[in-house]
């Protein structure tokens, strides 16, 4: 196992109520997870799985259409407690930072753990990359993951609202932002021509 600090990029897709009606007590349940583990700027592991919802097991038509996930796919997924065991296994690193786009992924994970009476499995720093992106580019509205990568003139990885693809796209934006931060922290040295006004120097030599 690689040692040292890891960045773990996580994306979840969760259940959605229908537009007009919502069952009593409804809350979003994780139904797909995508995880990308990065060490020293290299992907060392990826993981994806469907998760079977427990409290509201039938997906709404809106959810299936929006996420392009079928009932059969989630029915064959891991039960939530089994997914948490797998998550603990995956993130068992000496040092790591959890990176997500927005704060909903961790909020839903915490709520799901609470409803299942399972301890929250992650004990690490959490980084909301969407807020980092917002702060880095100045005071602007918070934007979506794929809109952000498009603003960089790049393309997302795979398909939007596929958990692993979104986690990989989050890593891509992370790389771009970190590269820009490094550039601003260590700007390219100016050339001698930029430091000296050559026209003035030539004028003095001519007199």
How many CA atoms, within 13 angstroms, populate the side-chain half-sphere of residue 128?
13
The closest alpha carbon to 69, from 83, 52, 44, belongs to: 52
Dump strand ranges (E) for the chain: 5-14, 30-39, 42-52, 78-79, 95-100, 125-128
Rounded Cα distance between 102 and 87, Å, is 20
The closest alpha carbon to 175, from 53, 72, 42, belongs to: 42
- The neighbour count for residue 47, using CB atoms within 10 Å, is 17
CB 74, CB 29: distance < 8 Å: no
CB 144, CB 129: distance < 8 Å: no
Rounded Cα distance between 134 and 123, Å, is 25
Two tokens, residue 199: 């026209």
60 secondary structure, DSSP code: P
Active site amino acids: 13, 161
């Amino acid at each position: 196992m690689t040692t040292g600090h890891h960045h773990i990029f996580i994306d979840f897709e969760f259940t959605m109520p229908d537009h007009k009606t919502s069952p009593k007590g409804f809350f979003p349940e994780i139904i797909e997870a995508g995880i990308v583990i990065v060490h020293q700027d290299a992907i060392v592991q990826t993981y994806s799985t469907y998760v079977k919802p427990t409290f509201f097991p039938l997906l709404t038509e809106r959810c299936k259409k929006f996420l392009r996930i079928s009932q059969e796919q989630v029915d064959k997924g891991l039960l939530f407690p089994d997914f948490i065991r797998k998550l603990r296994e995956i993130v068992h690193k000496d040092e790591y930072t959890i990176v997500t786009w927005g704060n909903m992924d961790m909020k839903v994970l915490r709520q799901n753990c609470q409803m299942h009476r399972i301890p929250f499995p992650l004990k690490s720093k959490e980084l909301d990359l969407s807020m980092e992106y917002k702060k880095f580019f100045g005071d602007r509205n918070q934007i979506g993951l794929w809109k952000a990568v498009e603003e960089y003139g790049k393309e997302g990885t795979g398909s939007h609202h596929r958990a692993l693809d979104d986690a990989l796209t989050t890593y891509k934006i992370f790389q771009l932002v970190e590269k820009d931060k490094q550039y601003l922290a260590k700007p390219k040295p100016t050339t001698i021509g930029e430091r000296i006004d050559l026209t003035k120097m030539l004028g003095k030599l001519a007199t």
